[in-house]
């Protein structure tokens, strides 16, 4: 009934993939959406340069949670360099829904957190671009 | 439902913005706690100012400047009467409530708070009535203590005496919470604070627009509020007792706040200009007078009565929806026209988004009250807030849309 809340989004929200924590994760990062304070934490397990497991945790809206659920599916099996190439456009196409400026922040929060993990704090070269 | 005091359909006609549709639905504006809409008289007052009398105020000897000055100072006197202050000298224009509270922290606070002193705030406060005191306490080595709330959003009565102690130098308290809606026991708190010799700073951002406020009856030392939440422009007001203001150092230094400037020292201007450095928001100050005229014409007791009825109606409707958690008191006499709520199946962002599709403006988030949300274990809430132009029909649309949200988010 509402194109924003189509079944795919609601399904990922209500039954998120890769939800939880990885004890002894190689990379563990947490960040929040300044708009609402929603937090998300992402744990990555690596083999060499490749992500072999990922889990996310945190509370948030349907858009940020579905984005985290779908994005974590996407990055399993990818190398860190491959993850660095993921951008705003990738996330928006993955979600496939029209988003206004405030909700784009929700959609991009998981990618932002993953990039902080992959690049290290403050070192994401696309950080400013992702936010706008 | 009848409001003997206010003719709501006539009032709605005065607000051009309410006449539009959003996403094909009539606009329902339920975010007046964030900022209110403006009546035609306020909008026109801006137009008139810029078309006919725009000039910098004070010290101009030509007609325009004199007229602008007269209107700017005239509006100040209207606001003074509106809150029943003794003198216009006690009325200081600021940017907003936040700046008014920071003004007190930076001037009275820095001059009077010492290491070991206590400052008291409450868990109901907006960040603007917490952070300036936190900064002051850190700078001075003082402590900031909080009066806690119960499950219904009421301040714990026994803590008024136990948290406000002989070491307390300043109490910063809201008259009405912008999340729980709670109308606080302000008289008891002011009495206790004065009994221990503390100064009381009242955050009136939600009370002054929505209920009668009389600073002499309250006997508060400072009161801060925002024009934009009371039909007016983006400007703020600080009321302060004259003796305190006279003794305080100035806030910002510059033009207008001085009487004499020499190479090595300056002499401060008289009140209230001592605290108004630089060219002020002249148009906003003047237009504030039009907002005060509009509210005075309605009568603040009528405004409060209308919102009380609307909240009573809304609480009743919310109670009929299963599983809704309302933040704050359930007694309409104990709260203002603000209802923050939570439902288990949907996040406030998603709720607000679906409301937007129905033309309904509500706010989602922590509403600048993170300590209160944290206390209740809430990450965020959805907030609907009412004003003079809202109707029971709009409450019905709010509830119908809430049911729609639940339908969409029904677990599959
Ligand atoms: C209770 C309360 N205090 C303070 C403020 C801050 O007002 P302003 O943003 O106008 O400074 C607000 C409004 O957001 C409020 O609701």
B176 in a structural domain: yes
Last residue of a domain, one of B251, B272, B297: B297
For the full predicted model, state whether its pTM sits above 0.80: yes
Pair B264, B306 in one domain: no
Last residue of a domain, one of B297, B328, B350: B297
First-to-final CA distance of chain B: 39
Residue B342 with chain A: CB contacts under 8 Å: none
Pair B141, B276 in one domain: yes
Residue A38: what pLDDT?
76
Rounded Cα distance between A22 and A6, Å, is: 30
E-strand stretches of chain A: 27-32, 39-47, 50-57
Residue A8 with chain B: CB contacts under 8 Å: none
Q: Measure in Å the smallest separation between the Cα of B186 and chain A Cα atoms.
A: 30
Contacts of B306 (CB under 8 A, 6+ apart): B3, B5, B6, B8, B388
Residue A132: what pLDDT?
44
Nearest CA in chain A to B404: A1
CB A61 within 8 A of CB B350: yes
Residue A37: what pLDDT?
66
Residue B350 with chain A: CB contacts under 8 Å: 5, 61-63
Last residue of a domain, one of B259, B275, B297: B297
Preceding omega of B272 cis (within 30 degrees of 0) = yes
How many A from CA of B234 to the centre of ligand 1? 12
Residues of B serving a catalytic function are 368
Pair B114, B205 in one domain: yes
Band of pLDDT at residue B187, cut at 50, 70 and 90: very high
Pair B171, B313 in one domain: no
- pLDDT of B287 > 90? The answer is yes
Pair B214, B104 in one domain: yes
* Residues B290-334: tens digit of each pLDDT: 999 999 999 999 999 999 999 999 999 999 999 999 999 999 999
Does B349 contact A39 at a Cβ distance shorter than 8 Å? no
Pair B268, B405 in one domain: no
Kindly state the average pLDDT of the residues A44-56: 95
DSSP letter (8 states) at residue B19: G
| Residue range of the domain that includes B137 | 44-297
Percent of chain A with pLDDT over 70: 87
Residue A39: what pLDDT?
83
For chain A, the average pLDDT equals 87
CB neighbourhood size of A92 (10 A)? 16
CB neighbourhood size of B270 (10 A)? 9
Contact B359/A at CB under 8 A? no
B351 in a structural domain: yes
Contact B354/A at CB under 8 A? yes
Q: Measure in Å the smallest separation between the Cα of B98 and chain A Cα atoms.
A: 19
Pair B260, B330 in one domain: no
The CATH number linked to B15 is 3.90.1150.10
Residue B364 with chain A: CB contacts under 8 Å: 36
B223 in a structural domain: yes
In CATH, the number for domain A2-122 is 3.90.1010.10
Rounded Cα distance between B238 and B289, Å, is: 15
How many A from CA of A35 to the centre of ligand 1? 17
Kindly state the average pLDDT of the residues B82-94: 98
Q: Measure in Å the smallest separation between the Cα of B232 and chain A Cα atoms.
A: 26
Does A61 contact B409 at a Cβ distance shorter than 8 Å? no
Band of pLDDT at residue A21, cut at 50, 70 and 90: very high
Q: Which of B262, B238, B256, B246 is nearest to B99 (CA)?
A: B238
B278 in a structural domain: yes
CB B271 within 8 A of CB B223: no
Rounded Cα distance between A66 and A19, Å, is: 11
B55 in a structural domain: yes
**H helices then E strands: how many in chain B?**
15, 17
Pair B273, B351 in one domain: no
Pair B247, B168 in one domain: yes
Q: Residue A61, exposed/middle/buried by CB under 10 A (0-12, 13-18, 19+)?
A: buried
Residue B408 with chain A: CB contacts under 8 Å: 1-2, 5, 10
Residue A6: what pLDDT?
81
A36-40, A105-109, B147-151, B371-375: which has the minimum mean pLDDT?
Answer: A36-40
Band of pLDDT at residue B1, cut at 50, 70 and 90: very low
- pLDDT of A123 > 80? The answer is no
Rounded Cα distance between A113 and A106, Å, is: 12
CA distances (Å), origin B126, targets B129, B202, B369: 6, 12, 5
* Residues B157-166: tens digit of each pLDDT: 999 999 999 9
Residue B226: what pLDDT?
98
- pLDDT of B251 > 90? The answer is yes
Contact B315/A at CB under 8 A? no
Cβ-nearest to A36 among B346, B365, B409: B365
How many A from CA of A91 to the centre of ligand 1? 35
Rounded-to-10 torsion of CA B40, B41, B43, B46: 160
How many A from CA of B126 to the centre of ligand 1? 7
Residue A128: what pLDDT?
61
Distance of alpha carbon B47 from its chain centroid, rounded? 26
Cβ-nearest to A2 among B348, B349, B354: B354
Pair B173, B314 in one domain: no
Rounded Cα distance between B230 and B50, Å, is: 22
CB neighbourhood size of B266 (10 A)? 14
- pLDDT of B136 > 60? The answer is yes
Kindly state the average pLDDT of the residues A8-16: 92
B39 in a structural domain: no
Pocket of ligand 1 (CB under 6 A): B 33, 96-98, 126, 128-129, 174, 178, 203, 205-206, 226, 368
Within the 45-104 window of chain A, which residues sit less than 8 Å (CB to CB) from chain B? 59-63, 103
Pair B155, B267 in one domain: yes
Residue B3: what pLDDT?
45
The CATH number linked to B252 is 3.40.640.10
CB B92 within 8 A of CB B238: yes
Counting the structural domains of chain B, the total is 2
How many A from CA of B178 to the centre of ligand 1? 8
B246 in a structural domain: yes
- pLDDT of A35 > 80? The answer is no
């Amino acid at each position: 009934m509402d194109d924003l809340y189509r079944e795919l989004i609601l399904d990922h929200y209500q039954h998120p993939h890769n939800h939880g924590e990885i004890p002894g994760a190689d990379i563990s990062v947490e960040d929040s959406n300044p708009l609402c304070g929603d937090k998300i934490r992402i744990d990555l397990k690596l083999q060499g340069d490749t992500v072999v497991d990922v889990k996310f945790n945190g509370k948030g809206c349907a858009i940020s949670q579905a984005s985290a659920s779908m994005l974590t599916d996407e990055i399993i099996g990818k190398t860190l360099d491959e993850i660095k190439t993921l951008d705003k456009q990738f996330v928006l196409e993955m979600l496939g829904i029209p988003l206004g400026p405030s909700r784009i922040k929700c959609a991009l929060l998981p990618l932002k957190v993953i990039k902080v993990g992959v690049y290290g704090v403050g070192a994401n070269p696309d950080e400013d671009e992702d936010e706008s | 439902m009848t409001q003997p005091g206010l003719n709501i359909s006539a009032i709605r006609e005065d607000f051009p913005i309410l006449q539009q549709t959003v996403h094909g639905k009539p606009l329902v504006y339920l975010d007046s706690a964030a900022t209110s809409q403006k009546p035609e008289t306020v909008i026109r007052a801006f137009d008139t100012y810029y078309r006919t009398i725009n000039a910098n105020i004070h010290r101009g000897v030509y007609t325009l400047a004199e007229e602008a000055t007269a209107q700017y100072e005239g509006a100040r006197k209207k606001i003074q009467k509106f809150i029943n202050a003794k003198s216009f000298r006690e009325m200081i224009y600021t940017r907003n409530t936040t700046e008014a509270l920071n003004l007190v922290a930076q001037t009275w606070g820095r001059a009077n708070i010492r290491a070991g002193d206590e400052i008291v705030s409450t868990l109901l406060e907006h960040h603007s009535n917490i952070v300036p005191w936190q900064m002051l306490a850190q700078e001075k080595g003082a402590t900031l203590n909080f009066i806690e709330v119960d499950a219904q959003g009421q301040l714990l009565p026994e803590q008024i005496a136990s948290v406000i102690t002989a070491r307390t130098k300043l109490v910063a308290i809201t008259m009405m919470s912008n999340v729980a809606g709670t109308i606080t026991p302000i008289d008891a708190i002011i009495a206790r604070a004065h009994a221990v010799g503390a100064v009381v700073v009242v955050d009136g951002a939600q009370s002054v627009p929505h209920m009668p406020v009389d600073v002499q009856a309250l006997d508060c030392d400072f009161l801060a509020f925002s024009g934009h939440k009371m039909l007016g422009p983006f400007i703020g007001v600080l009321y302060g007792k004259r003796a305190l203001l006279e003794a305080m150092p100035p806030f910002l230094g510059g033009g207008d706040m001085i009487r004499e400037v020499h190479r090595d020292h300056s002499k401060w201007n008289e009140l209230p200009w001592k605290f108004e450095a630089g060219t002020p928001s002249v148009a906003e100050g003047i237009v504030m007078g039009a907002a005060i005229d509009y509210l005075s014409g309605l009568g603040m007791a009528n405004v409060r009565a209308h919102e009380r009825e609307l909240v009573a109606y809304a609480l009743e409707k919310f109670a009929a929806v299963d599983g809704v958690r309302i933040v704050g008191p359930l007694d309409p006499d104990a709260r203002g026209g603000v209802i923050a709520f939570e439902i288990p199946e949907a996040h406030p962002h998603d709720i607000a988004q679906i409301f937007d599709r129905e033309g309904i403006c509500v706010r989602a988030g922590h509403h600048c009250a993170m300590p209160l949300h944290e206390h209740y274990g809430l990450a965020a809430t959805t907030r609907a807030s009412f004003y003079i132009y809202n109707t029971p029909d709009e409450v019905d649309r709010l509830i119908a849309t809430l049911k729609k949200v639940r339908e969409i988010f029904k677990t599959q």
